[in-house]
Amino acid sequence: MTGAVVIGAGPAGLMAADVMSAAGMAVTVADAMPSFGRKFLMAGKSGLNLTKNEPLAVALAAYPSAPPALRDAISDFGPMEVMGWAEGLGQELFTGSTGRVFPTVMKASPLLRAWLARLDAQGVIRRTRWRWQGWQEGAVSFATPDGVVQVKPGVTVLAMGGASWARLGSDGRWADHMRNAVSPFAPANMGFVVSWSDHMRRFFGHPIKSIALHAGDLTSRGECIISEKGLEGGGIYAVSRAVRDGAPLTVDLLPDWPMDRVVAALQRSRGKASLSNHLRRVLRLDPARLALLSEFGRPFPNDLGPLVKALPIRHAGPLPIDQAISTAGGVRFDALTDDFMLRDLPGVFCAGEMLDWEAPTGGYLLTGCLATGRVAALGAIRYATDR
């Protein structure tokens, strides 16, 4: 069967190599970094969230504005299939209280080692420090430690990631070779810049818990972190798409209290207590939430209730794109066939985060990368077989 080259050794590229080599194709995987799966390993540093154990319809709702081809890919390889795939690589899994699925060892490295061993057994050739340079006279060109190498495979799968975490390999430089098919990159699952006043310095690194964040039609009950740069963490990531696109960001400091309870508490006698102590006592606000109220609420209005329930957060936009967990933008779906082949480049397929889609954290990103890598591989197999 025709040979294949996969460019990019993240989850999407490795899945494509796995599927094609299992079908009998001679596969070479090339990556610009010194080792494979660097962002994958970083994602698993604090616990590898593989997917989310939930019905397919619920999972699909997490991919906003997903085109039919992406929905079909995830429908064919969704949460149940991801769990089966990981177990097939010898990983014991558990489902957390929020439905997130992790290997019991919590790390990415055992899974990656098992995966690479399977690829080796299937004859996959691995090349590191091979940086893709585009096409030259129909050949795929790489800058390598041994000079320029040109390859003419039967099919090519591009899986080079988005434009965040450049030090791990996802630098988006590939887009320079594909401008006609690419939408501009934008940060996704990111924090926002806040110019804190001096009194907030003592809270740098502190989590803000027991809150609800709102932006547009998105709501998050996750916690966020007061960092030197601004607001970061899972809670803010969950609403970051709407904030990035222009929706105001507000925080409900007492999401489990109805407004009438807040109002009744605020009407209690203050006595000789300072306003801060009064608010802490009657609203039971911890120091971090009280500091947030002071930072964005002063000068306090006479009616504090609406502010407590919907505190507007002033920010200066997203943190730099390279600090985002993931990116939107990339290869447009209208430039692709349903099996992710570039319409203008027959035999060249795209997969993973380099496609123009986004999803929240919680296992959805990895699920999407695996699913699109699989579809691109199946398309490459059909293309090679039909030639």
Say whether pLDDT at 46 is over 80: no
Q: How many CB atoms lie within 10 A of CB 354?
A: 31
What are the E-state strand segments in 227-296? 230-232, 250-252
Task: Kindly list the structural domains of the chain, giving each domain's residue range(s) and its CATH number in brackets, ordered by start.
Answer: 4-187+325-386 (3.50.50.60), 192-312 (no CATH)
How does the average pLDDT of the chain come out, rounded? 95
With beta carbons less than 8 A apart as the criterion, state whether 162 and 170 touch: yes
* pLDDT, tens digit, 9 for 90 and up, residues 317-374: 999 999 999 999 999 999 999 999 999 999 999 999 999 999 999 999 999 999 999 9
Whole-structure pTM value? 0.93
pLDDT of residue 273: 82
Q: How many CB atoms lie within 10 A of CB 120?
A: 12
pLDDT of residue 225: 96
Average of per-residue pLDDT across 287-294: 95
Cα(215)–Cα(239) distance, integer angstroms: 6
Cα(379)–Cα(294) distance, integer angstroms: 56
pLDDT of residue 271: 83
User: Residues of the chain with pLDDT > 70: what percent?
Assistant: 99
User: Bigger pLDDT: 302 or 156?
Assistant: 156
pLDDT of residue 2: 66
pLDDT of residue 386: 86
Say whether pLDDT at 33 is over 80: yes
User: Residues of the chain with pLDDT > 90: what percent?
Assistant: 91
Cα(299)–Cα(290) distance, integer angstroms: 14
Q: Which residue has the tokens 């919907």?
A: 310
* pLDDT, tens digit, 9 for 90 and up, residues 125-170: 999 999 999 999 889 999 999 999 999 999 999 999 999 999 999 9
Average of per-residue pLDDT across 203-214: 96
Q: Which residue has the tokens 């790390």?
A: 107
pLDDT of residue 274: 85
Say whether pLDDT at 270 is over 90: no
What are the E-state strand segments in 325-365? 326-331, 348-350
Phi first, then psi, for residue 191 (nearest 5°) are -90, 180
With beta carbons less than 8 A apart as the criterion, state whether 321 and 183 touch: no
Say whether pLDDT at 1 is over 60: no
* pLDDT, tens digit, 9 for 90 and up, residues 81-131: 999 999 999 999 999 999 999 999 999 999 999 999 999 999 999 999 999
pLDDT of residue 269: 87
* pLDDT, tens digit, 9 for 90 and up, residues 55-78: 999 999 999 889 999 999 999 999
If phi > 0 it is left, if psi is from -120 to 50 it is alpha, else beta; for residue 352 that is left
